[in-house]
């Protein structure tokens, strides 16, 4: 179908910047995260400045199955959950369309995952492992563009060459993607090889396409958001991992971990949430405190019911409040020290990004920062 034919078929469907403006021009975006950007977490993130949230990545084949079990388990939304993009991984255009049609108009767009670098994506032939097959990617996006009632968007990774990255993004746009989120890391940059995202490549994409572009990568603190926008010119900034460790990131507030944990559990009271999701979020929120209070770590592992998670959080809070009260000085978020790498040193009871280090044999420093913030 030609673009004119598609416009005639869907005369009211929003495109590019019309879609972006209809969503009040979102600047703060929660990334799609498997088993982690579920409805309750999206609601918490929206309470702290998130303008747009993506669902976890759903597997199109299972989501579109006539047996609705997977779909009902994975896809939750409510009247507060807008704007929201539903993300799928897929390698078959017809399967993708069938899954997307189950979403209907309960979302603002359907997003195609072209960035997942994990081994399971390699085995399943989806995510970033489609990057060698531009024809298939084009057909996947085009299938939705020609047949879906709501817009299609895409989240991509970059190539080593900026020219190839730009050509890739332009192909994705030409296929019908109305917004492109660019994770500025290579497919190989994962796990202990994560490293820094390349904002220069994101900037090149932004300058080459005519649809809105979101940047993903290197966001550790609130101030990084504007710095990213200034350096790349993007329309919005997406956070994945840092959002998990500090869901108040987009608010600019520096808050105690127990406060966010309690608010999350309050939301889970009204929004049924898998225990495994809850446990995972609490482990991340208390990442820097559990190695100190090891006995509570064991209890968190063993917790299954919401009331058990509440009790563990209550006990952790009591310990952390005591730690804060016995500290040499009261914590001042505007007056912090930095470590040898220039990153902020916060008390363990304060929400903060996850930083990983490994030994670096090529430099005199015994450690080098592995910035895996997304």
Q: What is the DSSP letter of 249?
A: G
Tell me which of 53, 116, 268, 351 is the catalytic residue: 116
From start to end of 115-199, where are the E strands? 152-157, 180-183
Q: Confirm whether 228 is a catalytic residue.
A: no
Question: Do strands 213-216 and 52-59 pair parallel, antiparallel, or not at all (unpaired)?
Answer: unpaired
**Distance between terminal CA atoms of the chain?**
37
DSSP per residue, 59-71: EHHHHTSSSTHHH
Helix, strand or coil for residue 152?
A: strand
Angle at 43 between CA 37 and CA 49, to 5 degrees: 100
Q: How far is CA 178 from CA 3, 84, 108, in A?
A: 13, 14, 11
Rg of the chain's alpha carbons, rounded to an integer?
A: 21
Q: Which of 50, 48, 3 is nearest to 23 (CA)?
A: 50
Cα 57 to chain centroid distance, Å, stands at 10
Residue 17 CB coordination number (10 Å): 15
Query: Cα–Cα distances in Å, from 271 out to 71, 172, 259?
Result: 16, 35, 18
Closest CA to 140 of 181, 102, 89: 89
Active site residues: 116
């Amino acid at each position: 179908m030609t673009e004119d034919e598609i416009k005639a078929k869907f005369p009211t469907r929003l495109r590019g910047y019309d879609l972006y403006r209809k969503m009040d021009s979102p600047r703060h975006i929660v990334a799609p995260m498997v088993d982690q950007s579920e409805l309750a977490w999206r609601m918490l993130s929206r309470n702290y400045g998130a303008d747009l949230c993506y669902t976890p990545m759903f597997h199109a084949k299972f989501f579109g199955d006539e047996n609705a079990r997977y779909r009902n388990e994975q896809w939750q939304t409510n009247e507060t959950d807008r704007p929201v993009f539903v993300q799928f991984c897929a390698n078959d255009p017809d399967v993708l369309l069938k899954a997307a049609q189950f979403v209907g108009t309960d979302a603002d767009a359907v997003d195609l995952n072209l960035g997942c670098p994990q081994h399971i994506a390699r085995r399943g032939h989806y995510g970033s492992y489609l990057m060698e097959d531009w024809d298939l990617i084009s057909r996947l996006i085009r299938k939705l563009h020609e047949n879906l009632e709501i817009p299609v968007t895409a989240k991509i990774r970059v190539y080593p060459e900026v020219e190839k990255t730009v050509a890739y993004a332009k192909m994705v746009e030409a296929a019908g993607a109305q917004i492109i989120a660019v994770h500025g890391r290579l497919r190989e940059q994962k796990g202990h090889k994560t490293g820094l995202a390349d904002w220069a490549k994101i900037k090149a994409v932004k300058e080459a396409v005519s649809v809105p572009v979101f940047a993903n990568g290197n966001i550790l603190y609130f101030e990084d958001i504007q710095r990213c926008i200034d350096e790349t010119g993007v329309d919005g900034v997406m956070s994945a991992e840092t959002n998990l460790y500090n869901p108040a990131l987009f608010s600019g507030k520096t808050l105690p971990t127990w406060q966010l944990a309690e608010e999350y559990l309050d939301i889970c009271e009204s929004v049924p949430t898998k225990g495994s999701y809850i446990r995972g979020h609490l482990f991340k929120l208390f990442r820097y405190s559990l190695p100190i209070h090891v006995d509570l770590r064991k209890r968190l592992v063993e917790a299954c019911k919401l009331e058990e998670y509440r009790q563990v959080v209550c006990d952790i809070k009591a310990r952390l409040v005591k730690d804060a009260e016995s500290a040499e000085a009261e914590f001042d978020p505007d007056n912090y020290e930095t470590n040898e790498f220039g990153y902020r040193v916060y008390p363990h009871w304060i929400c903060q990004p996850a930083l990983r280090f490994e030994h670096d044999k090529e430099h005199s420093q015994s450690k080098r920062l592995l910035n895996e913030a997304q």
